[in-house]
Amino acid sequence: MSSVHLKNIVKRFGSFTAVHPTDLEIPEGHFVTLLGPSGCGKTTNLRMIAGLLDPTEGEILIGGRRVNEVPIHKRNLGIVFQNYALFPHKTVAQNVAFGLHYRDVPKSEIPGKVAAALELVQLPDVGERYPKALSGGQQQRIALARAIVTEPDVLLLDEPLSALDANLREDMRVELKRIQDKIGVTTVFVTHDQSEALAMSDKIVVMSAGRVEQMGTPEEVYNTPASEFVANFLGASNILDATCRDVSGGTAQLEAPLFGAFGVPAAKAGGVSPGPARMVLRAEKLLIQPPGTTAEGQVQAEARIETVDYQGQTVRYFLRVGDTQLQAINMIDERPFEEGAAVTAGFRPQDCAALPVEAPR
Amino acid sequence: MTGLGWHLIRGYAILVYLFMFLPVAVVVLLSFNASQFGSFPMTGFSFRWFVELANNDAILRAFRTSIILGLLTALISTTLGVLASLALVRYRVPGANLVSTLLIAPILVPEVVLAVALLLFLNFLGINKSFTLLLFGHVIFTLPFVILVVQARLVAIRRDVEEAAMSLGASPIQTFFQITLPLMLPAVLAGALFAFTISFDDITGTLFWKPGGVETVPTQIFAMLRNSISPEINALGTVMIVMTVGLPLLGAAIARTLSKKSGL
C-alpha cells in the first residue's frame, strides 16, 4: 500500500495537450475517483500512473519513490479494465495465480492465496472454469481477484463497471467498495458516472478538458461546486445570473432577477465578491408547491410547469419563471403536478451556492 | 419451375466439380493400376508403383529436399511473419502502410516475374545459385500468407489483455510467450502450414532458383514427364495430393481443438 503523487504532470500528444499541469496527491489507503466526461484526461492520468503512458513533464511518485523510469511490470500494481481483460486461454484459477508467479511467492502457497482471493469476491467454486463460461459480472469479479491477490501498492480501476448491466453495476459498486475497505488498498477509480463517484469515493477529482476542476469529498463536490462545469456534471443544476451586494458576517447577499434578494452562506459562495455573480441551485433543492403556498424562510417565485418527466419515485419538472426555464427534481407526494399548472417554486437560501462569473474559455 | 431450376443448378454445380476434380481422381485411380501403362482400362489393383517409388533414389532424394525446404521455409517465414505482424499491429512503425504493402506484394507479382527478377538480381550481385538462395526465394513468396493470417488474428487480440499481464508483473517478453503467442497460436500454425504447402508445391520459382543437381518433388516430376509418362508419376502425384491436402486439413483440425480448449 502506498500513496500516489502526480507532481506537476503534463501529457501532450503531438500538439494536443491531454493533461494540463496537474498536481494530485492520493493518500495511502484512500479511494480517489477521477470523474469527468470522455476526453477529459482521466484515463490518461490513470495510464500514466500505471506506466502505460509516459508523462511529457512532471513526476509520478508511488510511496514517495519516483517511478517515471520504472516499467509497468515492476510497479506492483493491480489494474481492472473496463472489458475485464481476462486471459481467455487460462482457467479462472490460472488467471488469478498469474501475478503470483512473478513475485516471490512459494509455489506451495499459490493455491491457498488463489482460493482466498476467489472467496473474497464470492466466487469460490469457479476456479476450474474458463472465463468464457462466466457472466460479465463474474468475469469482472475474477479480474478484481486477479488484481488484488498480489497485494499491489495501488489498485487502478479503469471504468470497471461500465460494461455491466444497470442492476449488476449497483451490486458491483457495493461489492467493490466492501472489498476495498477490507483490504485498504490505495485505489484510483476512473469513471464518467457521477453516481458511482459519489457512492464510492473518499475523494472525487472532477476533470474537464485536461484540467482538474475540483477536488474534494463527495459532499463538498456535490454541495459546493467550484465551477459551473462541476455544478452541471454532478446532477442537474439551475445556474442563473445574480448580483452580489455584499459579503459580510458569514453571508453573501445575492439578488437574482427571478427570486429577489436573499443571503447565501459565505462558505457556499467562495470567491464571490460584490458585483455580478452566478447562483447555483440544484434541481432537487427547488421545491414545487401549490400556488400561494407560503413557507418560513423560503425564497419563492411564481412559475408554470411546462414538462413533467415522471420517474416513479421522483418527478422532474421543467418550469418557466418569467422567461427563464428551470428544472426541479422532487419526491412525489401522491401525484405530480400537471403540465401547464401554475405553482409556487421555492428554495431555502442555504441550499443555494454562488460562483464568481467565469471568464469565457 | 423453381424445383426444376434448383435441379439444374445442382446438376451444373456437380459438373463444375467433376471438371475440377476428375483429373485428380484419375491420377489417384491410375496410381493403383497394375498395368505398365498409365492409362485405362485398368488391368488390376496394385501398390507396385508405390513400392517402386519407395525404391527410386532420385525421387526419395527429391522428397527429402522438398520436405527440408518446406520445413525451413515454414520456420523462417513464420518467425519473420510473426515478428513483422507484431511490429505492424502493436507498434507505431513509420510508413507502416508502405511496409505492409511491400510485404504483401510478392502475392500480387506474377511468380515468373518474381523468379526472373530474383535471378537477375543475384547475377548482378555475382552470387551463385545455392540451396540457401532457393530457400530465400521460397521465404519471399510464402511470407505474405503468414503475415496476412497472423495479422488478422493479432488485430483481434485485445491490447488490454497484454497490459493486464504486464501490470501483474510479466515483462514484455514473458507477456508475449504467456499471453500473445498462445492466443495467436492457431493463426501461427495455419501460417506455417500455408508456408509449408506452398513451398512444397512450388515449381515456377523453384525451376529458376534451384542449383544444378538439386531437385524438389515438383521439379522431379517435371523432369520425369519430359522422358515418358510413367505410372510412377501417378503414384507420386497421389502422395503429393495426400500431403498438400491432408496436412492443412490436419492443421485445421488441430487449430479447432486448440481454440475449443481455450474457449475462444
**pLDDT over 70 at A30, yes or no:** yes
Collapse the DSSP code of B228 into the 3-class scheme (helix H, G, I; strand E, B; otherwise coil) and give the result.
coil
Provide the β-strand partners of residue A253: A246, A263
- Residue in the block written with cell 456534471: A233
Whole-angstrom Cα distance, residue A283 to residue A238? 6
pLDDT of residue B171: 93
* Residue B3 within a domain: no
> What is the average pLDDT score of chain B?
85
Lowest mean pLDDT, pick from A306-315, B24-33, B157-166: B24-33
Tell me the torsion sign for CA atoms A310, A316, A321, A325: negative
Cell numbers found for residue A23: 498536481
Q: Does B108 touch chain A (CB under 8 A)?
A: no
Say yes or no for a CB contact (<8 Å) between A77 and B167.
Answer: yes
Whole-angstrom Cα distance, residue A64 to residue A153? 12
Whole-angstrom Cα distance, residue B227 to residue A53? 68
Tens digit of each residue's pLDDT (9 = 90 or more) over A130-162 = 999 998 889 999 999 999 999 999 999 999 888
Say yes or no for a CB contact (<8 Å) between B264 and A98.
Answer: no
**pLDDT over 80 at B260, yes or no:** no
CATH superfamily of A4-223: P-loop containing nucleotide triphosphate hydrolases (3.40.50.300)
The whole-number average pLDDT for the span B224-241 is 80
Give the gap in angstroms from C-alpha B190 to the nearest C-alpha of chain A.
18
CA distances from B157 to A70, A276, A299 (A): 26, 56, 59
pLDDT band, very low/low/confident/very high, at B133 (cuts 50, 70, 90): confident
* Residue B42 within a domain: no
* Residue B202 within a domain: yes
pLDDT band, very low/low/confident/very high, at A102 (cuts 50, 70, 90): very high
Tens digit of each residue's pLDDT (9 = 90 or more) over B58-110 = 888 888 899 999 999 999 999 999 999 999 988 888 888 888 888 888 888 88
* Residue B28 within a domain: no
> Who among A75, A89, A103 is closest to B182 (CB)?
A89
Please give the residue of chain B at the shortest CA–CA distance from A130: B263
Phi and psi angles of residue A98, each rounded to the nearest 5 degrees, phi first: -50, -55
Lowest mean pLDDT, pick from A56-65, A216-225, A289-298, B80-89: A289-298
CB pairs < 8 Å spanning A and B: 78
The whole-number average pLDDT for the span A55-76 is 91
**pLDDT over 60 at B262, yes or no:** no
A-proximal residues of B, 168-197, CB under 8 Å: 168-172, 174-175, 178-179, 182-183
Domain span at residue B204 reads 55-261
Is the link from the previous residue into B41 a cis peptide, with omega within 30 of 0? yes
Phi and psi angles of residue A328, each rounded to the nearest 5 degrees, phi first: -140, 135
Task: Spell out which residues of chain B touch residue A74, defining contact as CB-CB under 8 Å.
Answer: 169
CA distances from A137 to A105, A120, A127, A204 (A): 29, 15, 15, 25
For chain A, what are the domain ranges?
A: 4-223, 236-356
pLDDT band, very low/low/confident/very high, at B224 (cuts 50, 70, 90): confident
CATH code (residue B131): 1.10.3720.10
Tally of CB atoms within 10 A around A254: 27
| Contact criterion met (CB below 8 Å) for A79 and A158 | yes
Q: Assign a CATH topology to domain A236-356.
A: OB fold (Dihydrolipoamide Acetyltransferase, E2P) (2.40.50)
How many distinct structural domains can be found in chain B?
1
Tens digit of each residue's pLDDT (9 = 90 or more) over A189-223 = 999 998 889 988 999 999 998 889 999 999 999 98
* Residue B200 within a domain: yes
pTM value is 0.80
Closest by alpha carbon to A302, among A357, A341, A353? Answer: A341
| Contact criterion met (CB below 8 Å) for A321 and A258 | yes
CA distances from A123 to A119, A127, A144, A338 (A): 6, 8, 11, 49
Query: Which amino acid, one-letter code, is at A334?
Result: E
| Contact criterion met (CB below 8 Å) for A274 and A244 | yes
- Residue in the block written with cell 503512458: A53
Whole-angstrom Cα distance, residue A226 to residue A217? 12
Q: Would you list the DSSP string of A66-130?
A: E-TTS-GGGS-EEEE-TT----TTS-HHHHHHGGGGGTT--GGGHHHHHHHHHHHTT-TT-TTS-
The whole-number average pLDDT for the span A265-271 is 82
> What is the average pLDDT score of chain A?
89
Whole-angstrom Cα distance, residue A272 to residue A254? 10
The ipTM assigned to this model is 0.82
